[in-house]
Structure 1
Amino acid sequence: MIILMGIRDDEQVQRLISLDSKSSLADVVTICRSYEAAKCATSAIRAPPDQLRAVSAYKKGKKNKGHEKNLSTKPSPTTATFCKCCAKQHEPIACPATQSICTSCGRQGHWARTVQCPANQAQCLFCGHVGHYDKCCKTKKKDGRQSGSSGNSSAPNNNKHQDTRINSCRHLGSAAPTATKTPQPLNVLVSYGEATFHLLMLPDTGADVTVIGKRHLEILGIPQSSLQPPACTTTLTADGSTMAPALGIFKATLNLGKRSCPARILVHEGVQTPLLSYGHYKAIWL
């Protein structure tokens, strides 16, 4: 038997009295809680208009506070970084070197000796210095003016000026190794026919031909009988001495990364380190 006390709502009392006699206490409690929840919802629906406006104003103020909080938590704009074209710190569209011509490589859009300049590691053939291309060499332009002024003098004076230029060039050539940075060897992929081989070649920026030794020819597996006869020319070394005649020439393709170039490679007896000419070095690296 269940005894209920303290229920003042007549409708709820009548509903409980009409329950089956087999109903448990849990059933009665569930009915009472459901009735209370329905009554609260009805009171909220029948609330006066001023209370509804108060709820709306509270929700609106809460929404504005959340919006201000989101604005305060937005990340600050990133600071400007150092530009690769001018080495200064500025916004991406405010580079002062956009219309400038580089004095080291001759290209537009950056200043000399910046990260963007491709001539930072290039060695000039005229002065031997590292950091600019041959076409931008100031020493070459100075020598050109001297030769132009000497052309207006007599023949003996021409010979004298010519001897002076040769001596100065030799002097610059001998001083270059001590004042410049030695190029690092490159792991070049040599393609000969259907075969490919890797050779560690040293860039020789003062040479106009690529040279390997007989030992490297054997490593590549190329028979000496397949070499083409060399041209009847005299090959000079860096110190001005004459090299022995080449054993022969073969045509191959030099590959380094995504760049490649065709090459005529000379084979000389006694060459210990493969030497990469400046033209081929420029084609696959610079």
Structure 2
Amino acid sequence: MEWQENSGNWVLIPPRPQAIIHFLGGAFVATAPHVTYRSLLEVLANQGYAVITTPFINTLDHLEIAQNILRDFDSCLDRLYISGILKKKSLPIYGIGHSMGCKLHLLIGSSFSIERAGNILISFNNSTVRDAIPLAEQISSVVNVEFTPSPKETNSLIQKYYKIRRNLLIKFNNDDQDQTLRLNDLLRLRFPNMVTVKKLKGNHLTPLGQDLSWSVGKVYTPIDAIGQWFKQEIYRDLNQLKREILLWLNPFKNGVGSRD
């Protein structure tokens, strides 16, 4: 399998996929998600999920970004079916988002007519401009600047209109940007028995974990020990995330795990 560009998306399609994953990354790493989230996404593809990830450039108008993402995703999906790359019609579609990617999936699920088998929302972040963007505090003190929709408006949209019933929310124990518990409260008002929250070890950057090369010299030094420990900790947190995602996607599959 190799990553391919399609209608502005990057896709990774295994033989005979069982479902489709639509992945959206965080605000400042979303321009090349097939690179920044490669380890996570390739595990999903290796487990039989067709991965479509839509890059985006962050602006203040998050609803417009969500609309453009949905347009590009639908165009890509049509082309994959027409070309025969995806042969089985009507595969279930799951959304996975990280940080701002969660907000965009929530806006898509609240503002547009779509069908999804479920959403996985990792480290949900719904910050104001002042909190999200460096130097924005100085700008907003002069000009009234805020995201569209604002955090308050986003919460209202979710509470009133969000239509994706099955949701997995993932919160890391060392993440001061996370607003997952607030999101959990909103979603449980709509779907009381369909929301699962998992609290995992890690931080806001855990989903970005990549393969790290650490070459040990002829003499094993304390620096080598620190490097190996750091690598193991990153892998441990990321692998736990992979396992939880795969288990939720297919809880009846035996031997769930990543093929690292």
The verdict on a shared fold, with TM-score over 0.5 as the criterion, is no
Specify which structure has the bigger relative contact order, considering alpha-carbon pairs within 8 angstroms and separated by 6 or more residues: 2
TM-score (normalised: structure 2): 0.21
Larger radius of gyration: 1
